[in-house]
């Protein structure tokens, strides 16, 4: 261990010297990795924002249960408890027909004020049911609609179910694409380091002949990979910080409507930038290690 720390300054100088010596390969690798990480960053930012407004939209998905007007308060309470006891139900809230009419007037204008009054209001008292898992919304609605005292249970029909499946697929494929871009970045660094090793195979053979440790030979390559990953990630990081912040302010923090609000740049964008930087360095280290391992299988 002491030998490693004593040799560390020389190994760093060696890695830096080799990067300058093979500048064209190093630069092409930095650009290629930067593009791969930029694509991964682009998909990740979309993925996180889609997740954000998906959660926001899904939080508004609920089953509206219209109650029979003849139900007494005690019967409504029992029905509410029965619905709350269902496994997928998160919360049940009561809303009187007067409150429903007030909400209708607020959303659609004063034209519905003509229905004000006990004898004029055509609406039902309702129970609004929120679920723990919105993928169960269809089956839970069917169960509730069969309960005594329920006139109708609605949730928006197949359009809501389709939207829930769409959001789920976006999340899954977003994760897959980010993983694919990371794999491509590792592959690019691995090939770059491999070409560097092939150019220097005679030098490596001499070092092994004179008794150099495997870690002494391989560590400069690993450092090169880390440096390449760092510089490759720097461009996407700057684009991430300044680009997303500018876009957020330009669009007033929302896509098209209040239902699709963007994630606040801070601290989201700082954590994302730090993550991309670390990812670039780790990917560089892994790519270099995989390339060097093939040539240094035996140990001293």
* Structural domain for 173, as ranges: 2-57+162-293
Model pTM score: 0.65
Task: Determine whether 219 is exposed, middle or buried from the number of CB atoms within 10 Å of its CB (0-12, 13-18, 19+).
Answer: buried
Angle, vertex CA 241, rays to CA 264 and CA 245, nearest 5: 45
Minimal CA–CA distance to 76: which of 124, 7, 143, 36? 124
Q: Is residue 252 domain-resident?
A: yes
Calpha distance 160→170 (Å, rounded):
15
Shared domain check, 31 and 177:
yes
Q: Is residue 299 domain-resident?
A: no
Shared domain check, 234 and 121:
no
Q: Is residue 91 domain-resident?
A: yes
Q: Is residue 122 domain-resident?
A: yes
Shared domain check, 167 and 47:
yes
Residue 246: Cβ within 10 Å count: 11
Backbone phi and psi for residue 90, each to the nearest 5 degrees, phi listed first: -95, -45
Calpha distance 240→234 (Å, rounded):
10
> How many structural domains comprise the chain?
2
Q: Is residue 300 domain-resident?
A: no
Shared domain check, 258 and 168:
yes
Q: What does the pLDDT read at residue 29?
A: 78
Shared domain check, 176 and 147:
no
Shared domain check, 167 and 48:
yes
Q: What does the pLDDT read at residue 126?
A: 93
Task: Look at the chain and count its residues.
Answer: 300
Cα separations (Å) of 211 from 6, 197, 208, 221, 255? Answer: 18, 18, 5, 18, 62
Backbone phi and psi for residue 77, each to the nearest 5 degrees, phi listed first: -65, -40
Q: Is residue 127 domain-resident?
A: yes
Shared domain check, 201 and 108:
no
The set of residues, in sequence order, having a beta carbon less than 8 Å from that of 26 and lying 6+ positions away, is 19, 20, 192, 224, 228
Shared domain check, 212 and 115:
no
Residue that is last in its domain, among 104, 121, 154: 154
| pLDDT tens readout for residues 133-188 | 777 778 888 899 889 889 988 876 556 667 667 777 777 887 788 778 777 777 77
Q: What does the pLDDT read at residue 258?
A: 63
Residue that is last in its domain, among 134, 154, 174: 154
DSSP strand pairing (126-131 vs 89-95):
antiparallel
Cα separations (Å) of 235 from 15, 35, 36, 224, 272? Answer: 22, 9, 11, 18, 13
CB 58 within 8 A of CB 225: no
Residues of the chain where predicted confidence (pLDDT) is lower than 70: 1-6, 8, 54, 56-60, 109, 117-118, 156-161, 163-164, 189, 192-193, 196-197, 199-201, 256-260, 294-300
Q: Is residue 138 domain-resident?
A: yes
Shared domain check, 251 and 104:
no
- Tell me the CB-side half-sphere exposure of residue 98, using CA atoms within 13 A: 3
Residue that is last in its domain, among 133, 154, 175: 154
The set of residues, in sequence order, having a beta carbon less than 8 Å from that of 38 and lying 6+ positions away, is 235, 236, 239
| pLDDT tens readout for residues 79-108 | 999 999 988 888 899 998 888 888 877 777
CATH of the domain at 140: 3.30.70.3040
Shared domain check, 46 and 112:
no
Shared domain check, 192 and 121:
no
């Amino acid at each position: 261990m002491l030998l490693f720390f004593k040799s560390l300054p020389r190994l760093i100088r060696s890695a830096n010297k080799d990067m300058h010596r093979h500048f064209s390969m190093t630069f092409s690798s930095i650009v290629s990795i930067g593009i791969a990480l930029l694509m991964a960053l682009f998909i990740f930012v979309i993925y996180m924002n889609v997740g954000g407004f998906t959660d926001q939209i899904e939080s508004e998905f609920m089953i509206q249960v219209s109650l029979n007007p003849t139900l007494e308060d005690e019967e409504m309470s029992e029905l509410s408890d029965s619905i709350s006891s269902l496994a997928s139900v998160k919360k049940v809230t009561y809303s009187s027909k007067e409150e429903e009419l007030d909400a209708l007037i607020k959303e659609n204008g004063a034209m519905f004020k003509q229905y004000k009054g006990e004898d004029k209001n055509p609406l039902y008292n309702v129970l609004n049911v929120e679920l723990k898992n919105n993928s169960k919304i269809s089956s839970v609605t069917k169960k509730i609609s069969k309960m005594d005292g329920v006139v109708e249970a609605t949730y928006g029909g197949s359009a809501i179910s389709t939207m829930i499946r769409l959001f789920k697929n976006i999340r899954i494929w977003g994760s897959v694409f980010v993983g694919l871009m990371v794999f491509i970045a590792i592959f690019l660094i691995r090939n770059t380091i491999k070409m560097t090793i092939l150019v220097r195979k005679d030098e490596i053979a001499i070092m092994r002949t004179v008794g150099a440790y495997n870690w002494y030979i391989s560590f400069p390559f690993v450092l090169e990979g880390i440096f390449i990953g760092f510089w490759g990630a720097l461009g996407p990081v700057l684009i991430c910080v300044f680009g997303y912040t500018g876009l957020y302010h330009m669009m007033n923090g929302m896509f098209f409507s209040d239902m699709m609000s963007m994630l606040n740049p801070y601290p989201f964008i700082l954590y994302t930038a730090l993550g991309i930087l670390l990812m670039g360095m780790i990917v560089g280290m892994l790519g270099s290690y995989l390339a060097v391992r093939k040539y240094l299988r035996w140990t001293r």
